[in-house]
Amino acid sequence: MELVTKYKPIIDRAIQAIHERTFFAQYPEHPSPAIYGEEADKKGREKFQAQVGKKFEELLQGESSKWIGDEESPYLQEPLKISYPSYSVEELLSRADKAFHQWRKVKADKRAAILVESLERVKERFFEIAYATMHTTGQGYMMAFQASGPHAADRALEALAMGYEELTRFPEKTVWDKPMGKYNLTLNKEWRAIPKGVGVVIGCSTFPTWNSVPGMYASLVTGNPVIIKPHPGAVLPIAIFVAEVQKVLQEEGLDPNICQLGVDSFSNMITKELVEDPRVKIIDYTGNSTFGNYLEGLKDKFVFTEKTGVNSAIIDSAEDIDKVIGNLAFSLSLYSGQMCTAPQNFYIPASGIKTANGTVSFDEFAKKFADNVQGLIDNPKAGPFVLGAIQNKNTCDRVDQVENSKHKVVLSSGVIENPMFKNARIATPVVLEVDATQKEDFSQELFGPIALLIKTKDTAQSVALAKEMALKHGAISCGAYTTDPETREMIADEMSLAATPVSFNLTGGIYVNQHAGFSDFHVTGGNPAGNASFTNPEYVIKRFTWVGFREPV
């Protein structure tokens, strides 16, 4: 069946989901044999293992004389020795520029269908991508599967569906017929959505597909060729996405260079040379704020960033403090605090937390929290899999540094054994007590398994500090606990002015870290944590220009 006809129902359903914002997933998140097949996991693992130490030869973007690769596994702490073709910036850009003029003339429905087909093929490789993600990011198996596979594919589908909706929002043609009294002025009018030009997507080391595919698919569906510039430490997961897109393009008689992979190495980074070229019009970026701010400051570019933030948990009152603590301890521990949505600053009133069973003092909270984290990581059936491994050694150094600061240590960071990977790079969470007056010590992102319990005068001060941090330094998430409706509204209103989404009273199996495709806008774009949002209309609209033509009938 022709792709456009085949995938129209999926695209229509995705657009509907974007508007309903209720639960929707095109790609099942559970790595279940019943869904993905009995052999899928085993085959995926074998395929990944067969790739280790070899050239990645699936790309269709032309010969390269040089092969490079810097990935190493945080679980094995040794290089993967996978190599990728290397191209000069000029090679990448001249090919992209050529491909632009072919791709921009492909109809929007065809572009969207090609992109859905690529996701359907990636679906067949979710397990391989999961192992590739584990051994580049250090994520646990379940997160690696979900985040890099189905959740990423859903975010890609969301972005392309939003793009398709915007591209078809105005009529291609219409007759404009103006009554002038004795006669009518009649014009044929036409509108075209003109893509901006070459896009570059700059990946990060911790979520190499989830954070990159929205920009990649948003640029592609709106007619822009893209160059994916992955983090040198996490290439393979996104390389598989790119390879599948290229294969579909080639089968459809199109230039595979519409979507290129531009790998670089730690010793020879190409990003600046790439993005500063005038041919590059669109930049998508996930990473640190310093480089993100540099990108946002580039002239004549459309830049979409997710940078860093200082996330907060505001604890005012609760029905059951143990459930609250269980939830927060898991949120901190999940992938060792290496999620952009992980809470860092926990604001707790000095007078304690009102609960159904009386007030829980600051010290009681601190002890219960430390005990809960310790219990979680000491549980052999949970700890190693929840924590995963530390992607970058610098994160371990940061944990040490924080632990050796002047503040009271509520829980020390340590090491646990991962039964499957004896050599895994691990640092369990460190928890410190900080006073609200020591603002300089909690006014920055401390990436990794680091929690600060901040003693405030009262909830009003907690909220004021969380808001100030979000306004000044950015924030991607806020978890708040209160049983008082007025306090709830006060928190919602104040944090909304800092463009920070708030999850209230989460307990049980749902965490502040999780942002669901088709429902939660990930990063609002309204504070320094980033100027873009997965996926609001702005995210796709800025990638093309409406241009009109008219002529008398």
The yes or no reply on residue 97 touching a copy of itself (CB under 8 A) is no
Give φ, ψ of 473 to 5 degrees. -120, -5
DSSP string, 175-215: EEEEE-SSSEEEEEEEEEEEE--EEEEE--SS-TTTTTHHH
d(CA 234, CA 102): 30
Q: Give the shortest CB-408-to-a copy of itself separation in angstroms.
A: 32
Give φ, ψ of 183 to 5 degrees. -145, 175
The CA radius of gyration of the chain, in Å to the nearest whole number, is: 24
The yes or no reply on residue 177 touching a copy of itself (CB under 8 A) is yes
Nearer to a copy of itself, 253 or 485 (CB): 485
The yes or no reply on residue 196 touching a copy of itself (CB under 8 A) is yes
Q: Give the shortest CB-550-to-a copy of itself separation in angstroms.
A: 5
Q: For the CA atoms of 242, 244, 247, 253, what is the dihedral angle to 10 degrees?
A: -80
The yes or no reply on residue 194 touching a copy of itself (CB under 8 A) is yes
- Candidates 40-48, 169-177, 343-351, 370-378; binding stretch for a copy of itself (CB under 8 A): 169-177
Q: Give the shortest CB-84-to-a copy of itself separation in angstroms.
A: 32
d(CA 539, CA 159): 8
Nearer to a copy of itself, 347 or 511 (CB): 511
The yes or no reply on residue 545 touching a copy of itself (CB under 8 A) is yes
3-state secondary structure 114-152: HHHHHHHHHHCCHHHHHHHHHHHHCCCHHHHHHHHHHHH
* Beta-sheet pairing, 317-318 with 302-306: unpaired
**C-alpha distance from residue 19 to each of 220, 343, 500, 531 (Å):** 22, 29, 21, 22
Q: Give the shortest CB-496-to-a copy of itself separation in angstroms.
A: 5
**C-alpha distance from residue 441 to each of 164, 407, 444 (Å):** 45, 9, 8
Among 499, 513, 532, 534, which residue sits at the site for a copy of itself (rule: CB under 8 A)?
499
Among 52, 187, 298, 490, which residue sits at the site for a copy of itself (rule: CB under 8 A)?
187
> Binding to a copy of itself (CB under 8 A): which residues in 509-538?
509-510, 516, 519-521, 524-526, 533, 536-538
The yes or no reply on residue 490 touching a copy of itself (CB under 8 A) is no
Which H or E element spans position 323?
helix 321-333
The yes or no reply on residue 486 touching a copy of itself (CB under 8 A) is no
Please say whether the beta carbons of 541 and 525 come within 8 A. no
The yes or no reply on residue 171 touching a copy of itself (CB under 8 A) is yes
Among 117, 128, 166, 316, which residue sits at the site for a copy of itself (rule: CB under 8 A)?
166
- Candidates 244-252, 255-263, 357-365, 505-513; binding stretch for a copy of itself (CB under 8 A): 505-513
The yes or no reply on residue 175 touching a copy of itself (CB under 8 A) is yes
* Coil, strand or helix at 452: strand
Q: Give the shortest CB-541-to-a copy of itself separation in angstroms.
A: 5
Residues contacting 264, CB < 8 A, separation 6+ = 68, 86, 229, 232, 270, 271
Nearer to a copy of itself, 142 or 516 (CB): 516
Please say whether the beta carbons of 504 and 481 come within 8 A. yes
The yes or no reply on residue 551 touching a copy of itself (CB under 8 A) is yes
Cβ count near 165 (within 10 Å)? 18
Q: Give the shortest CB-104-to-a copy of itself separation in angstroms.
A: 9
Among 185, 269, 350, 420, which residue sits at the site for a copy of itself (rule: CB under 8 A)?
185
Site residues, a copy of itself (CB under 8 A):
19-23, 30, 166, 169-171, 174-181, 185, 187, 189, 191-192, 194, 196, 492, 495-497, 499-510, 516, 519-521, 524-526, 533, 536-538, 541-542, 545-552
